Amino acid sequence: MIRDVLPDDVVAVTFDEVGLSDADALAALHPVGADQIGGAVESRRIEFAAARACAREAMHRLGLPAAPVVRGGRGMPVWPAGVVGTLTHTDGLRAAALARADAVRSLGVDVEPHGPLPEGVLDAVALPEESAWVRAALGEEPDVRWDRVLFTAKEATYKAWFPLTRRWLGFADARITLVPTRVAGGAAEGELRSRILIDPHAVDGGPDLLDLRGRWAVRDGYVVSAIVLRPARVDSVEP
């Protein structure tokens, strides 16, 4: 499902593909990561460790040596040199998506269960034009939770944005456009665009982050959104 929204040069791995138990994943955690998450409740330690087991498997599939992924400032995962990636975990799903840094500048993936946002959350996270679009889409196609799709698109945007800017991006700081390309029987997929509404300066030496592009899908009880930012010289590669 995550692969459906990513190009072929991004490797996505879910924990069920890794072949480890939760206890194995915890035992395999690098001591720095184990230290960073040691005080958390067990379920949080397990999701942290499981996502990192997915990341190690993704490094292997990329032909790179497995290296630890520790937690950096504001929760950002810190990738080994030459790699970019993103982690996500939700009920029943833990995953990593990684790529070589010469092909991809930044990645953001967010997965959530396909259900309505809690009461009041849409208006708290959406710009007025986004709420209006979501409500109209829910009217036309109520089997797809467009509010949840918008939410994952915003969180994926933040995950791709932060490593390149090291700055906060609030829910009102990017305007999301969802373009459905297929909607059928409660499943759906499409493209997404995040228009950044605050200072778009990046600190990685690359171009400003004015527009972030990606894809989203509703499938198998989940909603997934992914942003794939290419380095300037390969910007012509479709995400």
Catalog residues that contact ligand COA under the rule CB under 6 A.
48, 51, 71, 74-77, 87-90, 110, 154-155, 157-159, 162-163, 169-171, 173-174
36 or 141: CB nearest ligand COA: 36
Q: How far apart are CB 232 and ligand COA at their closest, in Å?
A: 21
Count helices and strands in the chain by DSSP H and E runs? 6, 10
Residue 35 has a CB neighbour count (10 Å cut-off) of 12
Closest contact distance (angstroms) between CB of 144 and ligand COA is 19
User: How many CB atoms are located within 10 Å of the residue 237 CB?
Assistant: 13
What's the closest the beta carbon of residue 135 comes to ligand COA, in angstroms? 19
The CB-based long-range contact list for 33-42 (8 Å cut-off, 24+ gap) reads: 33/68, 33/69, 33/70, 33/71, 36/70, 36/71, 37/71
Q: Which residue is nearest to ligand COA (CB)?
A: 75
Nearer Cβ to ligand COA (142/170): 170
Q: CB 204 → ligand COA: shortest distance, Å?
A: 13
Name the residue nearer to ligand COA (CB basis): 30 or 183.
Answer: 30
Rounded to 5°, the CA angle 162-112-223 comes to 100
Of 27 and 184, the one with the shorter C-beta distance to ligand COA is 27
| Alpha carbon distance 37, 123 (integer Å) | 33
